[in-house]
Structure 1
């Protein structure tokens, strides 16, 4: 049924599919939790019912997406035991406690206070409700901290030793947690999560502005999202550059593959290959469109520093260049579009047309999924670029898998694809339906109490 595809390749495809399906949910909830905390704080500060209405709309969406993220994450741990038991055994002494810390310190915070955030405003009061919302937001960031520490250690392993059984044994927990690539990955991922949320919220606000330009809730969504796009996207570009320099230092083969450089430049002066077709069989990038010297300036911030190409590494240690070459360019291209939309919104704000420029709103709607696409492409670049290792330079992917038959792995992969598209497709459809509801200020008495509902007027009539 699965032809000549090996069990190892099927296991890699299965994990790639499940982790790709999972990553989009925490990328959304990390940013959305912080957005909810800001909205709730704005409601408490201004008592503007429009902020409360937007909060109530997005908290329901958060609950749906949070649930899908939990379910999709459980499946990955199942695969560690079935498809990757050697990996689990080798790295368990290091990664097991880190994942345990994530559950104990982060997930319990999120899950424990989520109910208060969703249903407890009237029962605990505004102050404690705000505290619970802030704890949920902090929990998502703490969860990202631990998960990025796990992934970063696999990319730049430090602080361990090998015992007689070939297991990685912790020697210095601070070196393990704060490994060389962790600060860059953590900042880059959190900013990506904030931008992902901003563009979804901005697309939702723009959608409603196209239908009801005077809707106060839609204006709040769109304005806050465009501020985030304008301010955070340039910061993300600088963070990405710093991350790239760190990757060049610790994973030079990955950078060589990303840049399509099969040839080493011992004197520097490497070009920037904008586009091309990397051919690993001939070790060349065909049809390359280059800008002279710019590759060295971007990668080393110098013209004459040596730049190692893929020819500086054994073929068996090289990552799949064609995949990461294009995934990286898609990610950067999406980032440039994000920056352009942010600048466009800044111009519209200066001209006083932020809510009255339909083509800007149409562009924002089209860019709604942009953050998810950028996150997926970034994740592909990171993970495929680490190949052929699960622990970079120390444990090969081929030595990490179990001895399962290809048909067994392929059958479970097929089942995952079918179930995921049905379950998470339904959840995504429901979340989109919630986004499509017109923002209103009809907050239930059960949520804010009868004394706060008097005198509420439709959002469209609330002053700017």
Structure 2
């Protein structure tokens, strides 16, 4: 397909499926904690606005959860079908870590999800709040194990290689590898931010259409407070993560910066924009600020950042890709911080819900968090190349022995099925959002729900 061999088709297929999948857990992680906060506020204040918002967002959470489980299961099978070399080499570590995720996070979520979605009128308020908190905790525990597995692939430790296979010798070192704490915080906070901007954009859409009910104004205000507080925190976490990456994966940082060689005795400049050329080994059309690269990445003006020419060609990541994916992520993060600062000014002027240019800004920023997450994962995964386990196993050695035709057909099937099935799921969520929060009906519904998606209504009447 398109002149690509089985190896590159396998990489494209995995990138495509994980890009679809990561959107659902990101929203699920943030919404689960948001639902816990909403129910806690309702229990404390008895304000019906919080209860209406809880039931509105629980429907969208249910759709996300269902699609996240399905897309995640399909993605996991690819370790055996397309990446058997990796499974044989490192399966003794990644296999148990993913099993721990199922035994802890998935069982915790599954055990309390039914109570959370369908038990509002069947159990007491305290038990229902506990169920919501346990589901929220389950999403974070799932993040813990998934990031532990992926971080070990970035900065492996706590193992020995016996007969060409990785053997764990220290599980504490395996799990708490050098990059794990930074990556866990970075991804968790990114999920909270993504959900906040998703919620804020939903409220902005209703405000632009003239709906200024207390529920809409409350969820808009809560989302913007999240942006004000958490977006700057994420910037600090990102800086710490960058310093950690410089220490353990210097080639990745050099590729991200599009930095090819150092001038003896001079600090490293920061390239704002440009086009890294892997063949000519230079960054064309570069716009740089002298010494700023050293200041940001080493927090000094006398240290230099490692340059790409200091690494063998076969060990260099594709700088063209990660250079721009990183800048997309950072650019969106700066816009998030800007949105939060503007919201503070508008609160002070008492025009937060009336300033239409700002509402349009908030609406267009709705997918910003999810796009930033995708750009961040492209940066971290493409920046690890050509290694699948950094410094131990090259990606080309991890792929299964599949023909070009087999990989082309399976990739085509994924493109068709994912686009159609999950495309319908996206559209359904949009329709739910357009309906908006409704007053909660205290009368129990008939029938017994059988699946998470039963929490969403069968028919939706949109606001006109």
Deviation string 1:230-253 (CA, Å, 9 cap, x unpaired) is 000000000000000000000000
Instruction: Say if 1:3 and 1:119 are closer, same or farther in 2 by CA, change over 3 A.
Output: closer
Contact map agreement 2:293 2:305 (CA 8 A) in 1 = no
Quote the Cα distance in structure 1 between the aligned partners of 2:434 and 2:146: 32
Which residue, 283, 287, 290 being the options, matches 1:289?
Answer: 287
Instruction: Determine the structure 2 residue equivalent to 1:117.
Output: 116
Contact map agreement 2:39 2:51 (CA 8 A) in 1 = yes
Query: Superposed, which structure 2 residues align to 1:408-423 within 5 Å?
Result: 408-423=406-421
Deviation string 1:179-225 (CA, Å, 9 cap, x unpaired) is 00000000000010000000000001111112234311101110000
Query: Superposed, which structure 2 residues align to 1:15-26 within 5 Å?
Result: 15-26=14-25
Query: Superposed, which structure 2 residues align to 1:166-245 within 5 Å?
Result: 166-245=164-243
Quote the Cα distance in structure 2 between the aligned partners of 1:158 and 1:352: 54
Contact map agreement 1:53 1:443 (CA 8 A) in 2 = no
Which residue, 322, 336, 339 being the options, matches 2:337?
Answer: 339
State the shift of 1:438 in Å.
Answer: 2.7
State the shift of 1:141 in Å.
Answer: 0.4
Structure 1 residue ranges (4+ consecutive) displaced by more than 4 angstroms after TM superposition: none
Deviation string 1:261-305 (CA, Å, 9 cap, x unpaired) is 011355351110000000000100000001111010000001111
TM-score computed with the length of structure 1 as normaliser:
0.95
Contact map agreement 2:84 2:400 (CA 8 A) in 1 = yes
State the shift of 1:328 in Å.
Answer: 0.2
State the shift of 1:442 in Å.
Answer: 3.4
Quote the Cα distance in structure 2 between the aligned partners of 1:148 and 1:336: 25
2:262 match: secondary structure: coil
CA-atom RMSD in angstroms: 1.0
Quote the Cα distance in structure 2 between the aligned partners of 1:53 and 1:433: 17
Structure 1 spans left out of the alignment, 5+ residues = 448-464
Instruction: Determine the structure 1 residue equivalent to 2:48.
Output: 49
Quote the Cα distance in structure 1 between the aligned partners of 2:83 and 2:149: 16
Contact map agreement 2:55 2:440 (CA 8 A) in 1 = no
Query: Superposed, which structure 2 residues align to 1:1-40 within 5 Å?
Result: 2-40=1-39
Query: Superposed, which structure 2 residues align to 1:82-101 within 5 Å?
Result: 82-101=81-100
Comparing 260-269 with 81-90, greater Cα deviation is found at: 260-269
Which residue, 343, 365, 373 being the options, matches 2:363?
Answer: 365
1:276 match: secondary structure: strand
Comparing 11-20 with 431-440, greater Cα deviation is found at: 431-440
Quote the Cα distance in structure 1 between the aligned partners of 2:273 and 2:46: 52
Aligned residues: 445
Contact map agreement 1:297 1:303 (CA 8 A) in 2 = yes
Instruction: Determine the structure 2 residue equivalent to 1:129.
Output: 128
2:286 match: secondary structure: strand
Instruction: Say if 1:100 and 1:214 are closer, same or farther in 2 by CA, change over 3 A.
Output: same
TM-score computed with the length of structure 2 as normaliser:
0.95
Which residue, 355, 361, 373 being the options, matches 1:375?
Answer: 373
1:162 match: secondary structure: strand
Instruction: Determine the structure 2 residue equivalent to 1:59.
Output: 58
Which residue, 384, 403, 406 being the options, matches 1:405?
Answer: 403
Deviation string 1:410-429 (CA, Å, 9 cap, x unpaired) is 10000001100000000010
Quote the Cα distance in structure 1 between the aligned partners of 2:220 and 2:416: 35
Contact map agreement 1:184 1:242 (CA 8 A) in 2 = yes
Instruction: Determine the structure 1 residue equivalent to 2:455.
Output: none
State the shift of 1:3 in Å.
Answer: 4.7
Quote the Cα distance in structure 2 between the aligned partners of 1:335 and 1:428: 24
Contact map agreement 1:208 1:215 (CA 8 A) in 2 = no
Deviation string 1:328-376 (CA, Å, 9 cap, x unpaired) is 0000000011111111111111111112222211111111010110000
Contact map agreement 1:264 1:311 (CA 8 A) in 2 = no
